[in-house]
Structures are given as structure tokens and as C-alpha cells.
Amino acid sequence: MVPLNQWIKIKAPATVANMVCGFDILGFAVNNPYDEMEMRLVNRAAGQASITIINIDDYNLPTDPEKNVAGAALLAMIEEYTANSIIEKSFADDATQTGLVDFSTIGFEVKINKLIKPGSGVGSSAASSAGAVVGANYLLGNPFTKDDLVRFAMNGEKVASGVKHADNIAPCIHGGVTLVRSIFPLEVIALPSPTLFVTIVHPQIEVRTADARSILKQNVQLKDAIKQWGNIAGLVAGLMKGDYDLIGRSLEDVIIEPVRSILIPGFDDLKKACKAAGALGGGISGSGPSIFFLSKEKETAIAVEKEMKKLYEGLELAHHTYVTTINQTGVEIEA
């Protein structure tokens, strides 16, 4: 366990969820942008909250732990830690020697500097949720596995979107590209991938995840489902084989994207321009409004960025762009 009052620094990466065809099951972490956080364990007075959240950005997000994504994730973690501690103490000859944290007298203090804009579609809520539980786990001496941390962080996603999903959380914690084979029970599979360059554009509009989910169709035609399954399988196979052409052919969504794309100005024109510039393929990042494209070469990724800027400058819509790579490590701790 890290001593009381000793701050640690946390770097939590942005993530791209769905990877076009893999709604709620595929995602990858990127090296830029990322959130910065600091955490420590502190003594707390009787009746004081076990989690104190301090915002050091301008987004004015809730600091009530139950309404904050990082707080909700930490509350779930504390609940399980406390339950396990009671069991462990009951079997210990001397409860004072177990090294367990007593959350009736100790709590977490968390500072959050969100460099990933909320509602941007690149895993802002996941970064805060994942960063919080990875940091807390380190402070406690790493009693939980990465999959445990994914489970806890999903509670933050429920606060953000109303649904527990792990396609952003899993790569944020595990790093690289991940496949969420199952939520209940949770099973996350790390996927190998060839070198890929990622170009992201974030039009400065907000698409709330809950809103983007609410417009989705609840019934899917069998022919569309079959095509989607083929694309998901093809994308996974392309990543594992390092087959860039197969990756490109498989980056197609016939179910979600046709509905969600209406929320993003210039989407269809942008997709055509980026493919013409040489991108393997791409689409909506998470629920949007950010859009991502994958490229084999850095030069192509830069050319794709130029097309993105050109289109949104033409639409007179403020935007941010990133040319980055896949982050293979996930959340990082600096003690």
C-alpha cells in the first residue's frame, strides 16, 4: 500500500470504441489525447465522504461521487474491497497485520484535469473511470486484476450513458486493441495489431452518448446482421494477421453508422475524402461526434488530417484534429 497523503500521477488515454462494425465490443486506446489525474489516500473524519473529487479543468463536472463517473467507479471498487476485507480479517490471527485499508477512516482524494473533452466520442468518461480505479488499485497495493478494474469502471459508464459497456474501458485499462466477448460474465480479449496510424477529428459539437443510443433501432434485419458479423470477424482476423487490405474491407457498419451519422455534419463527404486520401477506413468514434480513420503510413494519416481540416473549415465548424498511434499500455501511473 502507498503511504497516506502521497500523491500519484495518472495518465488515462482516450479510446476509440466500436471500430466501425464492432458496436460495444471492439475498441482501442490512443496516445493522444489523454486525461491527467492525481490521487492519494487520506484520513477522513467520521461522516465525511470516502471520495473527494477536485476538478482542475473548466468543465464543471459533478463532484458528488455518485454523479461523477470516476466517483461511481471508485464507490463500486470500495464496496468490493470492503467486503473482501471483512472476509480476510475474519480469517486473520491479528487483524491489525493484514495491511488492509479501513474505509471508515480513510478515503480517496482525486484531482481530475480533463484534456479529453466530455461528449467528444473518444472515451472521456472511460478515461476518468479507468484512471480512477487503476490509480486506486495502485494505492491499495494492486489487490485487483485488470478485469476487476474494468468491472468497477463500467459503473462510471453507466452514470455517463445509462448502460454498462466496456468497449472504451477495456482498451483504456488493458491498452492496445481489445474485444469484449462478454459483459456478464466479463471476458476481455487483447488483440494483436499491426502498426497503424490514427487520424481523429473532433468537430466542436456535443453528441451525448445517451442520446446517440436512444435513436438506434431495436430490431435488425437478418441480412444486415449477417453482413455485420462477417465484418467483425474479418476485422479481428485482419488485425491478427496484419492484413491491411482485410482490415480496410472490414471497416464497414451497416447497422449503427447509418443512423448515428445524421448527427455529425459533413460525415458522408468526409468519409469519401479520407478514403480517397488513402485511409484504410474508419467511421464514427464511439457515439460521436469524433470521427477516426486508420492508415498504414504516417504520411497517409497526415494527408487524411488535411482533408478533415479542409472539410470542417469549409463548413465553418470549429474542430480539433489528432494524428496519433495505438497506445499499447493503457492507463499509466507515475508514483
Positions marked catalytic? 157, 209
C-alpha atoms less than 13 angstroms from C-alpha of 311 in its C-beta half-sphere: 23
Q: 237: closest CA among 267, 203, 193, 279?
A: 193
**For residues 159 and 255, is the Cβ–Cβ distance under 8 A?**
no
State how far Cα 141 lies from the chain centre: 24
Other CB atoms within a 10 A radius of the CB of residue 237 amount to 13
**For residues 329 and 28, is the Cβ–Cβ distance under 8 A?**
no
The amino acid present at 297, given as its one-letter code, is E
C-alpha cell at 208: 451525448
C-alpha cell at 249: 474491407
C-alpha cell at 135: 490509480
From CA 50, how far away is CA 42, in angstroms rounded?
9
Query: Which alpha helices (DSSP H) does the chain contain, by range?
Result: 69-91, 124-139, 146-161, 169-174, 209-214, 222-241, 244-250, 257-260, 267-276, 298-314
Give, to the nearest 10 degrees, the angle between helix 124-139 and helix 69-91: 30
